[in-house]
Amino acid sequence: MRDGKLLSNGMKMDLVPTHQLMNKCGKTREGDNDTNDSFHPSRLVLKEGSSLNFKILEGGDVASSNVGIVSRQFEGSISDPSVGLQRDHLKRDVMGKMYPVRPADIKDGGNGYDTHECRESRDNLEAMENPKITGNSSRVFDVLSGLVSISGVGLDQQKRRVSVSIAEASKKKNVASAPQSVTYDGRSLIVNETYVFWNIHEPVEGQFNFEGQYDLVKFIRLIKEHDMHVIIRLGPFIQAEWNNGGLPYWLREIPGIIFRSDNAPFKAQMQKWITKIIDMLRSSKLFAREGGPIILAQIENEYNTIQLAYKELGNSYIQWAANLAISFDVGVPWVMCKQYDVLIQWYINTCNGRHCGDTFPGPNRPYKPSLWTENWTAQFRVFGDPPSQRAAEDIAFAVSRFFSKNGTLTNYYMYHGGTNFGRTAAHFVTTRYYDEAPLDEYGLQREPKWGHLKDMHRALNLCKKPLLNGVSRVEKLGIDVEARIFEGPGMCAAFLANNASILPITVKFMGNDIYLPAKSISILPDCKTVVFNSQSEFRTITDFTQKELSWETYKEVQPTFDKLQLKSRIPLELFSLNKDTTDYAWYSTSLGHALVGFVNGKYVGTAHGNHVEKSFVFEKPIELRAGVNHITLLAMTVGFPDSGAYMEKRFAGPRSVEILGLNTGTLDITSNEWGHQAGLDGEKVRIYTQGGSHRVDWNKLKKNRPAISWYKAYFDPPKGTEPVAVRMNNMGKGMIWVNGKSIGRHWMSFLSPLGQPTQSEYHIPRSYMKPSDNFLVILEEEEGVRPEDIEIVTVNRDTICSYVQENAPPPVNNWEVKANKFRFVGDGKTVSQLKCPKKKKIVAVEFASFGNPIGSCSSFIPGNCSSSISKKVVEKRCLGRGHVKYLLIELSLMTRNLILVTIH
């Protein structure tokens, strides 16, 4: 349906042609030439006692007289000048708001609409506009070896984006170079997919960093030590909600450069970078052909989402990039992610999304495997977002469906969450990244997602022989119900899908009655026995381990116009001023994504945009004195953009600055001479390190807590091995350092629609800490905060839940395939299982109910046939034990059994 598509979240979104997806556009606004160059903001002279309003518009407004609308965004995008804003370019977003669209901003172009829902709408659109290509070819791809194994391995990823895959071997023969070392030893995941981050490995042109946590070769070898494989994503553009999409800032300063286009300066730098990485990997024998773990490689990333913005230069660039990669002859297949029209004989087109079993049209040649390179396990968060979650059942349904439709590999993005340490997060993205993944930011198992997917992986593994060697067919079992069957001599596996979203159904299949819950898939490794159904958590923070730390403070010095060395007629552009070395810059007036304002040294206020609308108006009443008045602003960015066309032309910073309420009317001081300073004095002396902290005079904490202040304290790490975090109670916005290492931005004052901060706890890796006297430094932008309320806490998942349906099959580990025979090895009883982390036991039962209780872990409501003694019965069985299998038949349950317990 071209006019509309019902998405999985129930929202009906209008679909428009690919070049008109939901994105805003921006034009630069030239400085006002009718200005008084002799007027200085530092020499504003008024009569004594004047009081007026102070108004600042932050950068990147879009104004167009021929459409009569103004759209403000923090970063302008100077794109193809031939593309104008005409009335037929106006579209409505999902909230009904009008916005202009142009090809130069196909993929989120700074407007924040590139959510997974938006990505999925593109998946649906592309499935309609790019039908499956069929045909014959003699080329056989050397692809992946192995199907699925069981139970994931968590790696300490530090700053590396890592997602993990389950893989099915190619169904084609003559797989000459496929690795032969895969074993099925009880692990769920056998492939790690990882980016290569250009901007952390070459932050300054020609100066490379592959040491410590940036040691790429060591990281890939570590994966091999765990008998796993690697998909290497070389970029150079990666997106990944990462600062500047992984591109180093210094590229912007190369004359004439246009990112990701058939542009000689960009191609020269890209070729130099890719060559260096390929040579490094090849010399270390990390590709499969040399016995290494890398079995698949990617260059570029989702380029088709912006390709039309560059017209013929986009087409020639992507073909050049494809030929560049092929020229290295690394001996493994290449992908680009969602690129359908480039060197078809050499590249495997892939799918990114939530439901690629339905949205992906399939490989564009019959000899290619079907690859799902990004299966989003959650929604990444930006500051100001409320909590969100993707259900384990939905992920399991999607993966099962994909493999039932001849899928070869699915990659979870992310399987293990992480932390955006330092300034690595893209604009407004939280420091915590994909915490709702099966393994969260701290590496803790997030149930039921982790356990449910583990069981699904085991079930798929039981089907590996018919999946690899069987012939597939589809059998309709009713409306919205189908069986996808893989069979051959002595083998058969089936996937029974109930695509109805409301009603369960019992179907007759191969002589057996099979119960299918609503919107579910059942897996039958022998076409007779249901071992898994896709339909069949909660982290807690302990009480503080350290509070009431001994705090000291240092107030950042506010520079005035005459003290700032860098001068210009108009305020300088913020990205170019800071060069991605700091979030902060002093002006005598201006903005970035946010700002703090002072007049004559007095704090006026703060303001900021958000991920969707970066621009904002800062308007505050001020008091001016007779004589000279000083206006000082601290402008700041909250990360660079991570996607969109013409990224090298994004800008932030000053838009206009006006003094309102004068007897003579409004005074525009935008184009008067300004002074600038990139960064704070505290940053320059490295006040967050032990050595640097001695270069300033610290004071004891007082009642007055001015804006732009530094706070320091010492703490001892909590005992044990549990993850550690700092809880930023009653703080505002700023940065956090532990022993000189930045653990990221904090932003407690930006509340979600639920009235709570998006993130309150910030991860302190134990590898960052010493046995005692750890040096904690906070940069706080806002006034009136209470650092004495900050807590050092440990993190655990000491609340666990379990639920099971009456018709659910027994646990999947009741079956095995041995000597090519499927056999039963368990007791056949349907159970609800509770398992504590190592060395812990159940100490309390908080909830136990039966008969369709509703809610989620920690917030259940009793079901319709619950008993007053159910909690006591469960306590008798569970207390003091670390692992419990709760038999359904013992409790005579009707439909569903849920147990919530606290463990210790």
pLDDT digits (tens, 9 = 90+) for 186-223: 456 889 999 999 999 999 999 999 999 999 999 999 99
pLDDT, tens only, 710-751: 999 999 999 888 999 999 999 999 999 999 999 999 999 999
User: Residue 662: its pLDDT value, please?
Assistant: 75
User: Cα(840)–Cα(8) distance, rounded to whole angstroms?
Assistant: 38
Return the HEC string of 651-711.
CCCEEEEEEEEECCEEEECCCCCEEEEECCHHHHCCCCCHHHHCCCCCEECCCCCCCCEEE
Would 140-177+187-426 and 683-796 be classified into the same CATH topology? no
pLDDT, tens only, 448-475: 788 889 999 999 999 999 999 999 999 9
Helix (H) or strand (E) holding 619: strand 617-623
User: Residue 166: its pLDDT value, please?
Assistant: 61
Average pLDDT over residues 268-279: 98
User: Cα(845)–Cα(3) distance, rounded to whole angstroms?
Assistant: 51
Structure tokens at 710: 């530094």
Residue 300 has pLDDT above 70, yes or no: yes
The per-residue DSSP string of 214-229 comes to G-HHHHHHHHHHTT-E
Structure tokens at 362: 């399939």
The per-residue DSSP string of 503-569 comes to --EEEEETTEEEEE-TTEEEEETTSS---EETT----EEPSPSB-S---EEEEPP---GGG--EEES
Identify the band that residue 666 occupies on the pLDDT scale cut at 50, 70 and 90: confident
Amino acid at 560: T
β-strand pairing of 334-335 with 294-298:
parallel
Identify the band that residue 696 occupies on the pLDDT scale cut at 50, 70 and 90: very high
Given a contact cutoff of 8 angstroms between Cβ atoms, the answer to whether 612 and 73 are in contact is: no
Range of lowest pLDDT (345-349, 370-374, 867-871)? 867-871
Q: Which CATH superfamily is domain 140-177+187-426 in?
A: Glycosidases (3.20.20.80)
The more confidently predicted of residues 866 and 900 is: 866
Range of lowest pLDDT (200-204, 364-368, 846-850)? 846-850
User: Cα(784)–Cα(786) distance, rounded to whole angstroms?
Assistant: 7
Structure tokens at 387: 């909590």
User: Cα(765)–Cα(524) distance, rounded to whole angstroms?
Assistant: 43
Sign of CA dihedral 90, 91, 92, 93: negative
Residue 646 has pLDDT above 80, yes or no: yes
User: Residue 329: its pLDDT value, please?
Assistant: 96
Catalytic residue among 202, 241, 300, 374: 374
Amino acid at 746: H
DSSP, collapsed to helix, strand or coil, labels residue 42 as helix
Residue 818 has pLDDT above 70, yes or no: yes
User: Residue 167: its pLDDT value, please?
Assistant: 54
Burial of 463 (0-12, 13-18, 19+ CB in 10 A): buried
Identify the residue whose tokens are 């040096």: 775
Q: What is the DSSP letter of 46?
A: B
Q: What is the DSSP letter of 266?
A: H
| N-terminal to C-terminal alpha carbon distance within the chain | 53
Identify the band that residue 26 occupies on the pLDDT scale cut at 50, 70 and 90: very low
- For the domain bounded by 799-903, which CATH number is listed? 2.60.120
Given a contact cutoff of 8 angstroms between Cβ atoms, the answer to whether 336 and 322 are in contact is: yes
DSSP, collapsed to helix, strand or coil, labels residue 56 as strand
Identify the band that residue 510 occupies on the pLDDT scale cut at 50, 70 and 90: very high
pLDDT, tens only, 473-500: 999 999 999 999 999 999 999 999 999 8
Range of lowest pLDDT (104-118, 328-342, 458-472, 784-798)? 104-118
The more confidently predicted of residues 613 and 506 is: 506
Q: Give the number of C-alpha atoms closer than 13 A to the C-alpha of residue 18, restricted to the C-beta side.
A: 16
Q: What percent of the chain has pLDDT over 90?
A: 49
β-strand pairing of 566-568 with 674-678:
antiparallel
Q: Which of 818, 839, 820, 844 is nearest to 901 (CA)?
A: 844
Catalytic residue among 168, 202, 302, 441: 302
Residue 429 has pLDDT above 80, yes or no: yes
Residue 176 has pLDDT above 60, yes or no: no
Residue 527 has pLDDT above 70, yes or no: yes
User: What are the CA-CA distances from residue 363 to residues 338, 401, 827 (Å)?
Assistant: 11, 16, 42
Q: Give the number of C-alpha atoms closer than 13 A to the C-alpha of residue 209, restricted to the C-beta side.
A: 13
The residues near 902 (Cβ < 8 Å, ≥ 6 apart) are: 798, 799, 842, 843, 844, 845, 846
The more confidently predicted of residues 530 and 119 is: 530
Structure tokens at 894: 């009707």
Identify the band that residue 243 occupies on the pLDDT scale cut at 50, 70 and 90: very high
User: Residue 596: its pLDDT value, please?
Assistant: 67
Given a contact cutoff of 8 angstroms between Cβ atoms, the answer to whether 628 and 42 are in contact is: yes
User: Cα(741)–Cα(737) distance, rounded to whole angstroms?
Assistant: 5
Average pLDDT over residues 85-112: 30
pLDDT, tens only, 536-591: 645 555 555 667 789 999 999 988 888 888 999 888 999 999 999 999 999 875 43
The more confidently predicted of residues 828 and 139 is: 828
Identify the band that residue 851 occupies on the pLDDT scale cut at 50, 70 and 90: low
Residue 58 has pLDDT above 80, yes or no: no
Identify the residue whose tokens are 């940036």: 214
Q: Where are the domains of the chain?
A: 140-177+187-426, 683-796, 799-903
User: Residue 678: its pLDDT value, please?
Assistant: 95
Q: Is 374 considered catalytic here?
A: yes
Which backbone phi and psi does 806 adopt, to 5 degrees?
-60, -35
Which backbone phi and psi does 262 adopt, to 5 degrees?
-75, 75
Residue 182 has pLDDT above 80, yes or no: no
Identify the band that residue 886 occupies on the pLDDT scale cut at 50, 70 and 90: low
User: Cα(53)–Cα(697) distance, rounded to whole angstroms?
Assistant: 36
User: Cα(783)–Cα(207) distance, rounded to whole angstroms?
Assistant: 39
Residue 123 has pLDDT above 50, yes or no: no
Region at 292 (left for phi over 0; alpha for psi -120 to 50; beta for the rest): beta
Residue 278 has pLDDT above 80, yes or no: yes
Identify the band that residue 855 occupies on the pLDDT scale cut at 50, 70 and 90: low
**Other C-beta atoms within 10 Å of 478: how many?**
12
Range of lowest pLDDT (101-115, 670-684, 888-902)? 101-115
Residue 439 has pLDDT above 50, yes or no: yes
Q: What percent of the chain has pLDDT over 70?
A: 71
**Is the domain 683-796 a CATH 3.40.980.10 member?**
no
Average pLDDT of the residues of the chain: 76
User: Cα(77)–Cα(539) distance, rounded to whole angstroms?
Assistant: 41
728-761 b/e with 16+ CB inside 10 Å = b?
bbebbbbbbbbbebbbbbbbbbbeeeeeebbbbb
Residue 45 has pLDDT above 70, yes or no: no
Average pLDDT over residues 502-506: 88
Average pLDDT over residues 284-308: 95
Residue 410 has pLDDT above 60, yes or no: yes
